[in-house]
Structure formats: structure tokens, C-alpha cells
């Protein structure tokens, strides 16, 4: 997603990362109890995970995250008027790239005076499921995060 942000930044596309809460609290990164702690965890997104996009914190009660569906790693695309044009309950850069290319093409067609009307579409996209990388992430937070994930999904 960092590379995607860089690829589209010259086409007036902004990209941000909103830090929500800890999906898998563990020994290293506990559940959040204060904004000070939330800032510390958000620093790790930059320092450990290498997020280069602007990182912004949601309120401690997750007001923004909850309003948009509370999924652990979802992506939304808004147009400049604040209308969501894409919403995905998981993040996959192929899917987001595909959507951005489509919307930028729409903008170009509008500039060419093509008359366009919006409609809604549902589509089933596919994400890479790298379980080894996922478990490495859980292990980084300690055995509690690993054990609770396995117990939740009977693994």
C-alpha cells in the first residue's frame, strides 16, 4: 500500500493509514487504555512495520473506525466531496489499484465531456493469504496473541 500511495500521488490521490486499536493484544502490545499509549503503538507502525503514508489516530473509543464498520484492515476511497466510491472489508493493493485506475479513467472521461451517471456494483475480490507472515506478526506480539487467534478459529 505504501508503493501504491507513491504511484498515485502525482495524480492528486492522497493515502493515509488510520490507526484503530489492537486487533490481537498480546504481551508486547497490550490493549489500549490511553491516547498516550495509542501514540506509542502508532509509532511502531512507522518504525517496525514501515508504514510511510501519513498515520493518523482515531479517537480512543474508535468513533471513526466503528462508524465505518470496525473491520480490522479495511480500505475506503473517498472522492473530494466526501462521497465513498469504494469500500472493502479487507485491504488488498491489487483491488485498490484496480479501483483507482478505474476512477481516474472516469475523471478523464468526464473531462472529455462524456456524460456519465453513477451506479452501484458489488464484486468479490481476492487477497493474498500469507499465513506465515500473519503468524510472524502475531508472534511479534507474544504467545498470547498467537494462542488466542488459534483458539478463536479452532486451529
Partner 1 sequence: MTEADLVLRYNYDAFVPAKFEPWMNFDQSPKVGERAPDFPLWPLEGGETTLSALWSQYSYLVVEFGSFT
Minimum Å gap between C-beta 30 and partner 1 is 8
Minimum Å gap between C-beta 116 and partner 1 is 13
| Binding of residue 148 to partner 1 (CB under 8 A) | yes
Interface residue with partner 1 among 6, 54, 127, 143 (CB under 8 A) is 54
| Binding of residue 143 to partner 1 (CB under 8 A) | no
Interface residue with partner 1 among 6, 89, 101, 130 (CB under 8 A) is 89
At which residue does the C-alpha cell 473506525 appear? 65
Residue from 52, 18, 53, 22 nearest 37 by CA: 22
| Binding of residue 3 to partner 1 (CB under 8 A) | no
Which lies closer to partner 1 via its Cβ, residue 118 or residue 126? 118
Indicate if the alpha-carbon torsion angle 65, 43, 94, 114 is positive or negative. Answer: positive
Q: Annotate each residue in 111-140 with x if it binds partner 1 (CB under 8 A) or - if it does not, as one string.
A: -------x-x----------------xx-x
Is residue 68 within 8 A of residue 20, CB to CB? The reply is no
DSSP 3-state of 55? strand
| Binding of residue 95 to partner 1 (CB under 8 A) | no
Distances (CA, A) of 74 to 28, 65, 88, 90, 134: 24, 10, 6, 4, 16
Amino acid at each position: 500500500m505504501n508503493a501504491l500511495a507513491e504511484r498515485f500521488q502525482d495524480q492528486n490521490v492522497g493515502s493515509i493509514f488510520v490507526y484503530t486499536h489492537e486487533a490481537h493484544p498480546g504481551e508486547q502490545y497490550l490493549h489500549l487504555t490511553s491516547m498516550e499509549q495509542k501514540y506509542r503503538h502508532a509509532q511502531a507502525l512507522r518504525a517496525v512495520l514501515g508504514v510511510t503514508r501519513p498515520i493518523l489516530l482515531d479517537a480512543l473509543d474508535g468513533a471513526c473506525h466503528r462508524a465505518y464498520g470496525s473491520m480490522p484492515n479495511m480500505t475506503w476511497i473517498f472522492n473530494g466531496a466526501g462521497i465513498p466510491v469504494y469500500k472493502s472489508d479487507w485491504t488488498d493493493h491489487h483491488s485498490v489499484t484496480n479501483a483507482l485506475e478505474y476512477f481516474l479513467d472516469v475523471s478523464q472521461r468526464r473531462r472529455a465531456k462524456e456524460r456519465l451517471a453513477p451506479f452501484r456494483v458489488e464484486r468479490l475480490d481476492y487477497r493474498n493469504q500469507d499465513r506465515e507472515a500473519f503468524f510472524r506478526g502475531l508472534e511479534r506480539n507474544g504467545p498470547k496473541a498467537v494462542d488466542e487467534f488459534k483458539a478463536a478459529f479452532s486451529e
